[in-house]
């Protein structure tokens, strides 16, 4: 199960990113993190920006509400999203199943 913490009007959780995938998708859960496949390459912050845009689109929130709080150069990242609840983030997993 993904650990999602509520913090000041938003949530914080961990994602594991797989860059250069064949399509953008949520691929379930892996070791307590949401696994996300992205077509973007991991160079010049393209994968990080693609991750922020992907999550914002799926949650129907502004791009600026999604922030990478840690792990900017790693595949495992801490994501902070303002204006959503833990149940909305959990719903992303059930939609992808």
Residue 21: CATH number of its domain: 3.30.1200.10
The whole-angstrom separation of Cα 81 and Cα 67 is 6
DSSP-derived letter for residue 61 is: -
Secondary structure, 3-state, 16-32: EEECCCCCCEEEEEECC
Domain limits at 49?
5-96
Digit-coded pLDDT (tens) for 45-93: 999 999 999 999 999 999 999 999 999 999 999 999 999 999 999 999 8
- What is the chain's length? 97
Number of domains in the chain: 1
Question: What pTM, to 2 d.p., does this model score?
Answer: 0.94
The whole-angstrom separation of Cα 21 and Cα 67 is 22
27: number of CA atoms within 13 Å, CB side? 15
Indicate the SS3 state at residue 90.
Answer: helix
């Amino acid at each position: 199960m993904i650990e999602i913490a509520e913090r000041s009007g938003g949530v914080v959780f961990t994602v594991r990113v797989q860059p250069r995938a064949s399509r953008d998708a949520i691929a379930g859960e892996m070791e307590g993190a949401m696994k996300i496949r992205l077509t973007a390459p991991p160079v010049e912050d393209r994968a990080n920006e693609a991750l922020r845009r992907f999550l914002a689109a799926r949650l129907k929130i502004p791009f600026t509400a999604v922030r990478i709080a840690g792990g900017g150069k790693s595949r495992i990242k801490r994501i902070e999203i303002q204006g959503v609840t833990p149940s909305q983030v959990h719903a992303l997993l059930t939609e992808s199943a």
